[in-house]
Structure formats: structure tokens, C-alpha cells
């Protein structure tokens, strides 16, 4: 099999390239990435792969890449994904996540790929009350509340439209919050870890009880592999664990893993549109495909924090790239 992994130098994409190369070494993996601020070729160091520097919004290059490499399967991770950055620069999110996704679908249609797998997010559904007993299902209505969420929702609709109109053989996953190695240090777990390692304050949004569902990136990779192997074309699958933690619980766990004092915690104003809670019903992928998460949260978080402590040379050069200062008050 020949796979094109878009966003292949990003967090989840690079981990997927690593996972696939390790688990299925007979396949060819082409990483395709625009190398924006969050893309990092160092995340692919030592991994067998081919690389194309390109934007999913470049139709000619995307189509030519699919043809030149005789790609069978596209796994689309390419996206602008940071909610805070979407508040300061929303236009780029709609250009990449909506128009870019549609353009990649068109390239896939022209090249005749066998499968287009699109990676989405739990955030397209809006948020849940903290005391809600009803998780999001695959049939929940979309109700995005931020520019990032809305742009991902738009991309999902484009993918489904290409299936319904052009018979593009697609599958979609909506996934819980990922964590693990090689995540850009703007996201909450690496942000807390890298700042605590440096004995700097870690910023908690004022709504410290807001919750997220967490999944280790390797479990996400396993889920996508199961869907590519046996998932039904045209279907959406939720990928979640049921493992929820509040922002304060995450901060406490990171500090505990590093042996750092709770005094490093500091409260900053909530960002606009800060969602309260996400939780996915993942019973469909479990029942149909037999997928189950394998990495428990406590183990995965501890190993992730240890990775950041041991790989300062990977993340330190990235700190100056961050487009948003998460410790600053919102204007």
C-alpha cells in the first residue's frame, strides 16, 4: 500500500507516519506538509518515508503528488488546529481547513485514490454541560462555537459532499483530544510540561473545571488503521476513550510527574468561546471494528511528560515560533 499522510510533519501526522512505518514496514508512506510554524521535519528524523513540501490548497501539486507516487490512500491530518491562534487569525483556518480540504478532495477525485480518510475533531459538535450524561454520537448535530471548530466542521461537510456527489471513497473520524510526544508546545499538556521543566508558571484558564476527553496519539493511530482495513466507506467513526480530566487535574498531574510545586499554577482569563466539555460515544468503532484504547491516561501522561523532559533539544527551538502567548490576557 502507498499512503499519503498530509500534515505529516505535524503532531498526529508525524506520529502516524512513525506508527505505520513501525507496524507495516512493507508499505510506502509519503509525508506531505506545508511546514507552517507547527510543522517540523525533525519529528520524522530516522523514520523511513518520502517527503513532499506542499500545501493541501495547491491543487496542481496535490494531484501531481498523488499521481507521481501512485497513492492508494490519503490520510488527511493537515489542519490549522490551535483554538487560540484561530481567534487572532481566523482567516487562515478557513483557507486551510475548509478550502484546503475541498481542494485535496478534488485532487483525490481526479487521481482516483482508493480511500480518502479525513481526520476531524470532537469540537465540531460544540460543547457539553459539565454535568451532562449524554456524550456526542455520530448523529449529533454540528454546533461549532469557535473559528477553529467551524472551519473543521466546514471541512467535514466538504468531504461528505464529495462522497455523496462524486462517490469519493471516504471515511471520517472525530477524535478526542490527543496527547503524546512530538506535540507542539502551544497545546496544553506540552505547554504545562515545558514551562514546568523550566520552573516557569503554567497558565490555567479561569474555568479550571472545564473538561476534555483524552486519547494517546498511538491509540488514535491504531483506530485509523482499523478503519482503513475494515471500516465502511462513507461512514464516520468516533475515536474516544471516556478518559476525562479537567484542566486543573492535568496541571496537577504534570507537576506531580515532574516533582514541581503547585505554586507554579497561575490563573489567566478564559479565551473567547472557551468550550466547557467534550465527550464522544465511541461504541460504534468498538462494536464494528473491535478497536479499544491500549494506553491508560496515567501511564500515557507520565510517559509523555518524561519524553519532554528528555527531549529538550526537540522542543526548545520551537518556543519562539508560537504565534500566541497563552500567558497573556485576552483583549
Q: Would you kindly state where each structural domain of the chain is located, as residue ranges?
A: 2-179+214-239, 188-212+243-276+296-321
Three-state secondary-structure class, residue 273: coil
pLDDT at 126: 94
What fold, for 2-179+214-239? Answer: Rossmann fold (3.40.50)
Residue ranges of the chain with per-residue pLDDT less than 70: 326-331
3-state secondary structure of 65: helix
- Let me know if 323 is exposed, middle or buried by CB neighbors in 10 A (0-12, 13-18, 19+): middle
Q: pTM for the full model? A: 0.96
What is the predicted pLDDT for the residue at 9? 98
The burial class, CB within 10 Å (0-12 / 13-18 / 19+), for 331 is exposed
Q: Taking the CB of residue 303, how many other CB atoms lie within 10 A of it? A: 14
Would you state the pLDDT for residue 329? 52
- Sequence-ordered list of residues with C-beta below 8 angstroms from that of 104, at least 6 positions apart, any chain: 6, 56, 62, 74, 76, 78, 116
The Cα-based distances of 170 to 137, 163, 198 in angstroms read 19, 6, 44
Query: Cα(85)–Cα(296) distance, rounded to whole angstroms?
Result: 30
Contacts of 281 (CB under 8 A, 6+ apart): 135, 136, 137, 138, 238, 240
Residue 263 phi, psi dihedral angles, 5° rounding: -65, -15
As a dihedral over the C-alpha atoms of residue 163, residue 140, residue 246, residue 150, rounded to 10 degrees, the angle is: 50
Give the whole-angstrom CA distance, residue 116 versus residue 159.
Answer: 9
Grid coordinates representing 268 are 489567566
Q: Assign domain 188-212+243-276+296-321 to its CATH superfamily.
A: UDP-galactose 4-epimerase, domain 1 (3.90.25.10)
Distance of CA 126 to the CA centre of its chain: 17
Amino acid at each position: 500500500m502507498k499512503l499519503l499522510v498530509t500534515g505529516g510533519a505535524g503532531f498526529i501526522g508525524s506520529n502516524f507516519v512513525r506508527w505505520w512505518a513501525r507496524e507495516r514496514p512493507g508499505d510506502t508512506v509519503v509525508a506531505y506538509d506545508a511546514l507552517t510554524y507547527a510543522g517540523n521535519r525533525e519529528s520524522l528524523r530516522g523514520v523511513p518515508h518520502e517527503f513532499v513540501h506542499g500545501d493541501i490548497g495547491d491543487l496542481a501539486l496535490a494531484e501531481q503528488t498523488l499521481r507521481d507516487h501512485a497513492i492508494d490512500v490519503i490520510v488527511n491530518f493537515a489542519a490549522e488546529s490551535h483554538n487560540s491562534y484561530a481567534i487572532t487569525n481566523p482567516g487562515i483556518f478557513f483557507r486551510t481547513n475548509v478550502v484546503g480540504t475541498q481542494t485535496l478532495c478534488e485532487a483525490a477525485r481526479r487521481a482516483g485514490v482508493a480511500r480518502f480518510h479525513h481526520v476531524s475533531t470532537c469540537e465540531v459538535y460544540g460543547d457539553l454541560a459539565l454535568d451532562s450524561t449524554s456524550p456526542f454520537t455520530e448523529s449529533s448535530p454540528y454546533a461549532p462555537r469557535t473559528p477553529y471548530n467551524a472551519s473543521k466542521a466546514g471541512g467535514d461537510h466538504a468531504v461528505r459532499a464529495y462522497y455523496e456527489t462524486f462517490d469519493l471513497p471516504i471515511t471520517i473520524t472525530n477524535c478526542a483530544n490527543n496527547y503524546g510526544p512530538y506535540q507542539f508546545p502551544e497545546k496544553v499538556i506540552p505547554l504545562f510540561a515545558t514551562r514546568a521543566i523550566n520552573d516557569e508558571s503554567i497558565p490555567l484558564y479561569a474555568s479550571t473545571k472545564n473538561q476534555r476527553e483524552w486519547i494517546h496519539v498511538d491509540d488514535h493511530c491504531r483506530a485509523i488503521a482499523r478503519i482503513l482495513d475494515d471500516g465502511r466507506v462513507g461512514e464516520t467513526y468516533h475515536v474516544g476513550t471516556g478518559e476525562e480530566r479537567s484542566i486543573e487535574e492535568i496541571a496537577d498531574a504534570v507537576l506531580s510527574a515532574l516533582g514541581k510545586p503547585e505554586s507554579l499554577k497561575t490563573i489567566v482569563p478564559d479565551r473567547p468561546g472557551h468550550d466547557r466539555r467534550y465527550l464522544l460515544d465511541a461504541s460504534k468503532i468498538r462494536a464494528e471494528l473491535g478497536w479499544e484504547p491500549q494506553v491508560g491516561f496515567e501511564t500515557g501522561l507520565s510517559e509523555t511528560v518524561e519524553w519532554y523532559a528528555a527531549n529538550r533539544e526537540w522542543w526548545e527551538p520551537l518556543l519562539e515560533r508560537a504565534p500566541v502567548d497563552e500567558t497573556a490576557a485576552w483583549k
